[in-house]
Amino acid sequence: MAEPNSKPNTTVFAPWTDPDAVPLIRFRNVTKRFGDFTAIDDLTLDIYEREFFALLGPSGCGKTTMMRMLAGFENPTEGRIEIGGQDMANVPPNLRAVNMMFQSYALFPHLSVYDNIAFGLKRSDMPKEQIPDRVNEMLRLTRLERFAKRKPHQISGGQRQRVALARSLAKAPKLLLLDEPLGALDKKLREETQFELMDIQEKTGTTFVIVTHDQEEAMTVASRVAVMDAGVIKQVDTPPAIYETPNSVYVADFIGDVNLIEGTAAKTGEHAYEITYAEGVDPIKVTECEHEIAEGAKVTFAIRPEKIVVTQDPPEDRANAMQGKIIDIGYLGNLSTYHVELPGGQMVKATMTNASRISRRDYTWEDTVWLGFRSSAGVVLSE
């Protein structure tokens, strides 16, 4: 199934590239309206078993609505949702093999950690004598053994988050939904927990769907990311593909930092174009452009700041070189971001690793420098 242009890291686990793979979840032309407001607009999407799927978008983009429809708290206005081949219309939440970890954790305040985790098992057809074993297994998995007897208000935020995870995993659901699961944790704990989540997902083999507005989180944990905007999915792809080859200005701008340069395209060869963005300067040369662009079309050239090198002399090993003046330098310790103004007034950001000491740097504010990047470094977007 290795296609010639598939990326090396997707050949390990990539059921979405396999035409014979049967998706676990299918959204078929799903529309959800609340009164006049359309939360989800004619959405079609497949999610496969064992995937760690991230729904990413700004608040109000419909990602939480999608998750609530999977859990059964909302029903689609139009279209259908299938889980494991079964149409989920009219299946109430308590009869779905789907569990959810709530943003607020929704731990039962009157029950101990142990009883919170056992809550779902007691409602299932699991024999009574097996329940303690399962709960203890969950406690071990989330390293909560010592807190089993405590009430939710007697443990820390990070521990509460793990209780919520253990509770939603206890019934071994086919699908686990995570609604902004790490939103309430501080940055360090969040990063730690992200890796923990990935580890648990791998150990249990459960399909995870995570809703988040934090793009770093989505990129870190997910096998695929869906970028949403106003009830529509803009792009679904692996994190590297979303980052390197966004399909629209919206996605390019939403994920990470990007320079957007508007211009006119002209074809120069197979998958190669030139983009004229200003008078009197060389056009940007682009190769490896996979999609066809009409001659003279208005396009946006998107390039990530770290793909641009800043040098004092014209770079010889880069296909594109432009001269500009340093307006601002953002020093981040490991990196520095240079804000460079091109002759036409266009601002370009370039990020350089601070490989040597800052005092050794040859250029500073108001200096004229060269910006260089390869012809394959950026993407041409017509949307």
Partner 1 sequence: MRRAALILLPYSWLIALFLVPFLIVIKISLSDIALAIPPYTPNLDLSQGWAGIKDFLSQLDLDNFKFLTTDDLYWKAYLSSLRIALLSTFLTLCVAYPLAYGMARAPDEWRPTLMMLVILPFWSSFLIRVYSWKAILANEGLLNQFLMLIRVIDEPLTILNTPTAVYIGIVYTYLPFMVLPLYSALEKLDGSLLEAAEDLGCTRFQAFWLVTFPLSRNGIIAGCFLVFIPVMGEFVIPALLGGSQTLMIGKVLWEEFFSNRDWPVASAVAVILLAILVIPIVLFQRNEEKQREAEG
Q: Which residues bind partner 1 (CB under 8 A)?
A: 71-73, 92-94, 98-100, 102-104, 106-110, 119-120, 123-124, 153, 167-168, 171
Nearer to partner 1, 107 or 265 (CB): 107
Gap between the Cα atoms of 314 and 321, Å rounded: 7
Nearer to partner 1, 71 or 113 (CB): 71
The CA–CA distances, whole Å, from 162 to 38, 145, 148, 292, 376 equal: 34, 11, 12, 48, 43
CB 228 within 8 A of CB 57: yes
Gap between the Cα atoms of 285 and 301, Å rounded: 10
CB 99 within 8 A of CB 177: yes
* Least Cβ distance, residue 82 to partner 1 (angstroms): 19
Nearer to partner 1, 123 or 298 (CB): 123
Q: Could you say which DSSP state residue 266 is in?
A: E
Gap between the Cα atoms of 42 and 38, Å rounded: 10
The residue assigned the tokens 């320079």 is 259
* Least Cβ distance, residue 13 to partner 1 (angstroms): 28
Strand-by-strand arrangement of the 368-373 sheet: 309-311, 368-373, 320-331, 335-341, 347-353
Nearer to partner 1, 141 or 261 (CB): 141
Residue type, 327: I
Numbers of helices and strands, H then E, in the chain: 8, 20
Nearer to partner 1, 109 or 280 (CB): 109
- What is residue 379's three-state secondary structure? strand
Nearer to partner 1, 94 or 353 (CB): 94
Nearer to partner 1, 139 or 258 (CB): 139
- Token pair for 170: 């206890």
The residue assigned the tokens 């679904």 is 236
* Least Cβ distance, residue 123 to partner 1 (angstroms): 3
Nearer to partner 1, 104 or 156 (CB): 104
* Least Cβ distance, residue 93 to partner 1 (angstroms): 4
* Least Cβ distance, residue 176 to partner 1 (angstroms): 11
- Token pair for 78: 């139009």
- Token pair for 48: 């496969």
Could you tell me which of 369, 341, 197, 366 has the C-alpha nearest to residue 352? 369
* Least Cβ distance, residue 64 to partner 1 (angstroms): 12
The CA–CA distances, whole Å, from 174 to 16, 98, 99, 262 equal: 18, 6, 8, 46
Nearer to partner 1, 105 or 147 (CB): 105
Q: Could you say which DSSP state residue 21 is in?
A: P
* Least Cβ distance, residue 40 to partner 1 (angstroms): 19
Nearer to partner 1, 84 or 256 (CB): 84
* Least Cβ distance, residue 217 to partner 1 (angstroms): 21
* Least Cβ distance, residue 73 to partner 1 (angstroms): 6
End-to-end C-alpha distance for the chain, whole angstroms: 31
**β-pair partners for 339:** 328, 349
* Least Cβ distance, residue 264 to partner 1 (angstroms): 52
